[in-house]
Structure 1
């Protein structure tokens, strides 16, 4: 029994049924000629979402990505340092002294997984710093993801890959030259490192890395050009800035630029373990987005309140019918 048949047979109610409904809606959106933007919050790259997301990108089931700076870099960390990662299955039992021991070994913990600073973070810093400095000296400016694309295309890291390259979603996105937005990139390990290199003078122009408002202007251009031709769906994993930043482009276009002819998002699904609650963006039901001019009354809307590291691979496998 393949994943699609398994889910249809066993996932009949509650969040399981919502997973099937969202998957079927995703398929209908694609079959109708629509495109899909996927947003990545949380630690999905360290959760190795690339194993399923990369294939979605390669098969044309994902057409754009908005992610946190952490997800952007952590897929690359995993690509070059996977063999040095350590899993801590008993992470709930760690004492403060246990955590101090991990710090002293330069092992940065993300729930049950430790990212090795020297083999992952510093190795990538060295490769990206070369690109930052070269661009700075040439008076050129690129977005964070474009610097990563340049590192990958330059082949500097190719002999250091420690996983099958087909399981890297960033590498798949690079090969497709996928449109990408990384709001709040400064709040990431590489963002902190960049600030340090600007302070130390290695990079003279802090604006060598483009961020923030410039990302929104390129998103506005992409959406304005794309949405009138083909419906654009919104598949949100987690909450926070990765989801809030891109979904706001529609009301911005309508209300601030008076481009009333631009369509609303044509599909919406959010996977989150943040239960519906008052005052919580991540816990807001999709209908609330109608009042903000993000979704319409008839927009297909789904919410799966569960662990995204379980749900997202299942939905992607469902869409791929693997």
Structure 2
């Protein structure tokens, strides 16, 4: 029988790519997206339009936090798997508009958990973020490391969703995997992310803002590699411990898993890859560190590879070139 997945945030960057792959692999997919105006809604609408070319995809537009909306959809669709990706994203924006993070991330996730309690899926998978590691300076970041000192309200809400999901996994025996994503990039990416902003500015001949005077590193993860990780983890239901590095809860079928490239790239090397792909040199506006930001991220991939085997790791130059090719085609520049 055809497997069914309910995906929140299906018009988002990662949700769009995940739905594409699920459909290509023969799944039936129900997507929910709030089409918030945090960034260009037209980009989100174009993503959904592409997904709707498949008869196996159905799109619903609505806010996660609407009481009973998600539960009603789940009761009707009865998915085998729920993948909860929808969230209010962005570290900086959480300083200016914290209420939107309460609504989308906390209340929205509560609605998803309630829906799963009513109609339990075989596996529930929810997105968190590498930002939850916050002030932890021990690298590479492992899932069993302390993550108690978040440095942005965005990260705080995502850490809260990990705890919320754990309680539901314990109380209602809901098999749950949390993902901690590491700086995802690629075609159809978000306009608020550095790669998108840098490419746009360089093509327009305007300076790019380089924070902490360029002394930063990020574990840039190409979106196709990340989606491969999500797809393989669907069948890695949290049941048995795979080693002392496993984050599996002692009291619930719940685990948190890093999905990252496992190789941090200096910010200036990332910018150099963009310059090479564009054939232009960026004018750099060197600035101090922004509030809520961290100087480096680096994923320990031991757990995910123990669960699903080695992941593909797209080299930064190749990944950036694919984004630039998409950007030039999409915006005709």
Bigger radius of gyration, 1 or 2? 1
TM range (shorter): 0.3 to 0.5
What is the TM-score of this pair, normalised by structure 1?
0.37
Higher helix content, 1 or 2: 1
Tell me which of the two structures has the higher relative contact order, counting C-alpha pairs closer than 8 angstroms and 6 or more residues apart. Answer: 1
